[in-house]
Structure 1
Amino acid sequence: MNTATKLGVYALGLAVVFGGTTGIGKIAGPVGATADTGQGGHGGHGGDTGTPVPGGLQISQGGYTLVPRRTTFNPGELTDFRFTINGPDGRPVTGFKPLHGKRLHLIIARRDLSGFQHLHPTEVGGGVWAIAVVLPKAGTYRFFTDVQPEGAKEQLTLGTDIFADGRFEYTPLPKQEPVSQVVDGYEVTLAGQLVPGKSSKLTLSVRKNGEPVTNLEEYLEAYGHLVALRQGDLAYLHVHPDGDPGDGKTKPGPDITFYAEAPSAGAYRLYLDFQHEGKVRTAEFTVQAATSGAPVQQAPEEGHSHSH
C-alpha cells in the first residue's frame, strides 16, 4: 500500500492570510475552491453540498486536470519531469495568466513534509511543461501546480502523487521551535500562536549573523513567499504578503507579519522563501494549531520502511 493510500484525504479547510507590517495580507491560493464532481472522484467531498475543498487535494478542478508524463523516479537522480494542464476539452492548455511573475509554480513535498522544493518549469511547446527534478529519497511526493488558465474563473492548485522507488524511511515532523536556522548565517524567528477558529497573528523576523535584515530583495513580486501544508492530507495554501516592493509603505524586513486561521487542531508545516544578496533561501517551521491548554494530536507515522 502506498503512502497516499495510507494517509487518505480529509476534506478540511485552512484559511491563512499573510500580511506585511502595514496590514492584513491577501490570499494568493484557491482557498475554499468548490470541488468538481465531474472529474472521476478526484475531488474529495463537496459537489452536491458545495462544501469547499482545500487546494492541492484534487488532480482535477473546474474541468482542468494535471497530467504527468511520468509518476515514478529513481531517488537521487536528476530526471526530466514533463506534464500538461489539460482543459475541459481534454487538450493541453497553452494560455495562462501570470501569478506572482510566473505562469506556473511547481511545489514539491514528500508525504512526511520533508524535501520541500519550489520550482518554475518551462513550457517547451504545445502546452507541455518541463523541468529537471531530483527527489532525494525514496517515498511518495506530492506535486502541486499553481496556475490560472486563461479560461478558468480562478486560480487553481492541482496536486498529484509521484513516487520515488525504494525503501522508505519516515522522517518525523520536527517539533515546534521559535527559530529556523537557515544556511549562510541566516535565521528566521517565528513569534505567535496558531489557535483554531481564530485569526492568529504570527510574526517572522529575518536576521543574518545576529543582525536584522532590513533590505530583503523582491522575489516573485514580494518580499516573502509562504507555502503552508497540513500534516496528514497535505492540504495546501500558497500566500503572499500584503503590499508591494516599492509602494512606499511596505518595509523590506526584518519583520513580516501574517494572520492565520486554522479551523481545526493539528500540525502544519510552513515554508518561507525569501531573497537576500541575490539568493533565495527557505526557512521551515512546524506550527501546532491547538486550543489553549489542549494537546495537539499529530497524524500517525506511516511506519519506518516502505517499498514501492
Structure 2
Amino acid sequence: MNTGLKITAFTAAVAATFGTAYGVGKGVGPVTDRTPAAQHHEEAAQHDEEEGAGHGEGTAPGGLQISERGYTLDLRTPRIEAARRDTLRFAVVEDSTGRGVTAYEKEHDKELHLIVASRDLTTYRHLHPTRAADGTWSTPVELPEAGGYRVFADFRPEGAKEGLTLGADLAVAGESEPRELPAPSTTAKVDGYDVTLKGGLKTGTGGDLTLNVAKNGRPVTDLQPYLGAYGHLVALRSGDLAYLHVHPNGEPGDGRTKAGPGVSFMATVPSAGAYRLFLDFKHEGKVRTAAFTVHAGGGGHAEKDGGGHAEKGGGGHAEKSDGHQH
C-alpha cells in the first residue's frame, strides 16, 4: 500500500473507531488531514522510484515507510489530544526478533532523534526521548492543534553502516482547520531573531544553503553548539512529508568553522516541488527554530526563493516551532 493510501485508510479508521469521542467535553470535529497538497504524494513517490532519487545516492527518501531494512517503528501512542501535555511512547523493533532495539550508534550527540510535524507543516517538534532497558522510548509532548501528524524516528542501530528514518502517523484530537503551506520568503523571525536564507535546493545534486542569524539587527557571532553543530536542519517535502536530514558543513572546534552568523549546509532533494526547512540553533542557552518554505526546481536548477514564516505562539512567532522538549 502506498503512503497516500495508508494516510487515507488511517484517517477513515480513526474516524470510524472514535467518532465524536474526539470532541469529548468540547463538541469539536474529527481529525482530518490538513494538507491540501497530500493528493500529490502518489505522483511524487512514483517520480522518486522512476528517477532513482533520494539522498543523491539512488535511495528513496526517509520517513515514508513504517518498516524498512529489517526494522519497524512501533508507535505505541497513536493518538493524543490537542493542546494537552501527554507522553509519546514508541519502540524501534527488530523484525527478525520482534524485540525493541536497545543498542544504537550515537549521531549528532544522540542515539535517536524524534521529529513530529503536522501534515500541513505548520507545527514542528524536535524531541529527545529517553530509552528504557527494554527498548521503549518515551517523551513528553504538547501539540497545539488537531489534525494529522507524522512522527519520524531518525537513528542508526549499533553496527549498522548507515542511518535509517522510519515514519508513522499520529492523530491529534480536537477541532481542526486546514491551512495552506506558508508562502516562500528568504527571512524568518523567531523570538527576537532574524534568520536569512541564502541559496536554494537542487534535484539530483547538492545545493548550498547558508542561514545567517541576527538579533536586534546585529549578526550573532557566538552561536552555541547544538547536537554537535552550530545548526541542525531538517527538510520535509510538502505532500508526503519525505524526510531529509541535512548535515552542516564543518563543526565546532575544527579550527575553521565560525560560531555564526552563518551556518552552511549541503542539501540534495529527491524531486522538484515545495519543501519546508526547519533550522534549530542555540544562543544564550536556548534552542530556537526558524522555519522556511523553499521551492526546488527540476533539472538540477534551484529556485532563488527561500523560505518562510516562523511558527505561531510565544515570543512573537515561536510557539509552534520552538518545541524542543528534552
Mark the runs of 5 or more structure 1 residues left unpaired by the alignment: 15-29, 34-50, 297-308
| Aligned twin of 2:84 | 77
Aligned length: 262
Corresponding position: 1:192 with 2:216: no
Q: Distance in 1 between matches of 2:289 and 2:182?
A: 15
Deviation at 1:255, TM superposition (A): 1.3
Matches within 5 A, 1:14-163: 31=55, 52-87=59-94, 88-163=96-171
The 3-state SS of whatever aligns with 1:97 is coil
Q: Is the 8 A contact 2:246 2:265 kept in 1?
A: no
Is 1:248 the counterpart of 2:255? The answer is yes
Q: Is residue 268 of structure 2 the alignment partner of residue 261 of structure 1?
A: yes
User: Any conservation in 1 of the 2:244–2:269 contact (CA below 8 Å)?
Assistant: no
Contact 1:99 1:147 in 2 (8 A): yes
- 1: distance between equivalents of 2:220 and 2:236? 26
Identify if the C-alpha distance between structure 1 residues 114 and 262 changes in structure 2 by more than 3 Å, giving closer, same or farther: same
Q: How far has the Cα of 1:180 moved from its partner?
A: 0.4
1:264-303 to 2 correspondence within 5 Å? 264-290=271-297
**Aligned-partner Cα distance in 1 for 2:210–2:161:** 33
Q: 1:32, CA displacement in angstroms?
A: 6.4
How far off its partner does 1:197 sit?
A: 4.5
Alignment-mate amino acid for residue 127 of structure 2:
L
Q: State the shift of 1:199 in Å.
A: 3.9
Identity across the alignment (%)? 52
* Cα offset, 1:260, TM superposition: 3.1
| 8 Å Cα contact 2:235-2:276 kept in structure 1 | yes
Distance 2:76 2:266 in 1: 38
Q: Once the two structures are superposed, what CA deviation does each residue of 1:58-109 show, in whole Å capped at 9, x if it has no partner?
A: 1111111110112111111111111111113111111111111111110010
SS at match of 2:280: strand
Q: TM-score, normalised by structure 2?
A: 0.74
Measured at CA, do residues 201 and 96 of structure 1 come closer, stay the same or move farther in structure 2, by a change above 3 Å? closer
Structure 1 residue 31, shift from structure 2 partner: 3.4
Q: CA deviation at 1:112?
A: 0.6
Q: Does the 8 Å CA contact 1:223/1:274 hold for their aligned counterparts? A: yes
Cα separation, 2, equivalents of 1:237 and 1:61: 16
**Higher relative contact order, chain-length normalized (CA < 8 Å, sep 6+):** 1
Contact 1:32 1:53 in 2 (8 A): no
CA change 1:32–1:70 in 2 (3 A) is farther
When the two structures are superposed, what TM-score results if normalisation uses the length of structure 1?
0.78
* Equivalence for 1:299: none
Distance in 2 separating the partners of 1:99 and 1:111: 26
Aligned to 2:310: none
The answer on whether the counterparts of 1:205 and 1:255 sit within 8 Å (CA) in structure 2 is: yes
CA-CA distance at 1:165 after TM superposition: 1.9
Taking structure 1 as reference, are residues 67 and 257 closer, same or farther at Cα in structure 2, changes over 3 Å only? same
CA distance in 1, matches of 2:93, 2:302: 47
Equivalent residue letter for 1:145: A
> Counterparts of 1:194 and 1:220 in 2: how far apart (Å)?
23
Q: Is the 8 A contact 1:204 1:256 kept in 2?
A: yes
Residue in structure 2 matched with residue 201 of structure 1 by the alignment: 208
Q: 1:242 and 1:259, CA in 2 relative to 1: closer, same or farther beyond 3 A? A: closer
| Bigger share in helix | 2
- What CA RMSD, in Å, does the superposition of the two structures yield over aligned residues? 2.5
Structure 2 Cα separation of the partners of residues 195 and 129 of structure 1: 35
- Structure 2 distance, partners of 1:265, 1:236, is 14
Residues 156, 194 of structure 1: CA spacing in aligned structure 2 closer, same or farther, 3 A cutoff? closer
Distance 1:196 1:144 in 2: 23
Instruction: Please tell me whether the aligned partners of residues 238 and 274 of structure 2 are also in contact (alpha carbons under 8 angstroms).
Output: yes
